Amino acid sequence: MPINTVTEDPLAWQESALCAQAGPEFFFPAPGSSTREAKQLCGACEGRMACLEYALTHDERFGVWGGLSEKERERLRRSGSRG
Ligand code: SF4
């Protein structure tokens, strides 16, 4: 059996998602609106890294995911430094 076999539910992080208690407009703000509050919430979220990985893997283009805006995720993708 491979050491890195993932047996957990890949979407388990969503169960502890802090954004589930906030409105969608919080994480999908109108263009030009601040994403600061959403990012602060992400900073306290247990599933932040899994959320970010999900967004990168599924090429989510809109909103704040894992504490990064769409522009920041695009920058991360281009730099190839997903880690
Ligand atoms: S990291 Fe942010 S967007 Fe992702 S689940 Fe947590 S609160 Fe929601």
With a cut of 90, say whether residue 10 has pLDDT above it.
no
Dihedral sign, Cα of residue 81, residue 34, residue 31, residue 27: positive
Q: Is 51 annotated as a binding residue?
A: yes
Give the mutation target among 65, 69, 72 for probing the ligand 1 site: most ligand atoms within 8 A of CB: 65
pLDDT of the residue at 53: 95
Report how far ligand 1's centroid is from the alpha carbon of 60 (Å). 13
With a cut of 90, say whether residue 38 has pLDDT above it.
yes
What's the rounded Cα separation, in Å, for the pair 69 and 50? 15
C-beta 65 within 6 A of ligand 1: yes
